[in-house]
Amino acid sequence: MPWEKSFDESEVIDKAMHVFWQKGYMATSISDLTAATGIQRGSLYNAFSGKQELFLRSLQKYDREQRCVLLKRLEAIDDPLKAISVLFDAIVQQSMEDPQKKGCFLINTSLTLSEHDDEAQALVSTALKEFTQFFARQIKLGQQREQIPVTVPVRATARALFALVVGIRVMGRGGFDKPALHQVAKQALRLVS
C-alpha cells in the first residue's frame, strides 16, 4: 500500500548540516535547504516538522560524527600526552584544510543560539562539557602514569585546554594562518608539563 520515500533521510540531514554549519541558523533559509538537498519544500515539511527540527538533527549528526568520533579515536591512543597532542594537531588541521573556514559547528552554534532553542542549547552544553571531561580524564591518567606532574590541577587545566581549543577554532575562522594556530597548539602542551 504505502510507498517508500525517494530520498535517504540521513543524506538530507547531512546536506542540511553543511548549510547550517556554514551559514548559521538564521542566515539559512528554507530555499537554501531545498536547493542544497534537492528535495522540494513540501517533502521537506513532510519528513521534518520544520527548520528547527532539521537544525537540531543536523547538530546531533555533527556531534555524533565529528566530536564523538574524534574523542573516541583519541581515547584509543592510550597515551595521555600523545592523545592531547594529536587532538590539537587535528583541530589545527581541520581548521585549515576546510576552504570554507566553517570552524566547529558546535562552537559556532553556542554563540549564535537564541535562548529559546532549549534542546539545541542542551546539546551544545553537554557536548562542550564532555569535551572538557575528556581532557580531565587524560590528565588524571597521565598523572597516574607519571607522565604529567601531580602539581597540575586537573579540572582547571582541563578547562584551560578546552578554552584553547575554542580559541583555535574561532581564530581559524578569522585571519590567522596555520603557523599561528600551530604555535597555540604547542603552548597547550606547556599546561600539562
Partner DNA sequence: CCGTGTTTTGACCTATCGGTCCAATCAATC
Partner DNA sequence: GATTGATTGGACCGATAGGTCAAAACACGG
Segment interacting with a second copy, rule: CB under 8 A, options 30-38, 66-74, 101-109, 140-148? 101-109
DSSP code of residue 189: H
Q: Would you count residue 164 as binding a second copy (CB under 8 A)?
A: yes
Which residue in the set 93, 94, 110, 143 belongs to the binding site for a second copy (CB under 8 A)? 110
Burial class (CB within 10 angstroms; exposed 0-12, middle 13-18, buried 19+) of 124: buried
- Contacts with DNA by CB under 7 A lie at 1-7, 28-32, 39-43, 45-47, 50-52
Q: Helix or strand or coil: residue 113?
A: coil
Phi, psi of 182, rounded to the nearest 5 degrees: -65, -40
Identity of the residue, 55 or 162, whose beta carbon is nearer to DNA in the bound complex = 55
Which residue in the set 19, 136, 148, 165 belongs to the binding site for a second copy (CB under 8 A)? 165
CB 19 within 8 A of CB 36: yes
Place of cell 574561532: 170
CB 12 within 8 A of CB 47: yes
DSSP code of residue 10: H
Q: Helix or strand or coil: residue 86?
A: helix
Which does residue 120 bind out of DNA, a second copy, none, counting CB within 5 to 8 angstroms by kind?
Answer: none
Q: Would you count residue 91 as binding a second copy (CB under 8 A)?
A: no
Residues forming contacts to a second copy in the complex (CB under 8 A) are: 23-24, 26-27, 103, 107-108, 110-112, 114, 124-125, 128-129, 153, 155-157, 159-160, 162-168, 170-171, 173-176, 180, 183-184, 186-188, 190-191
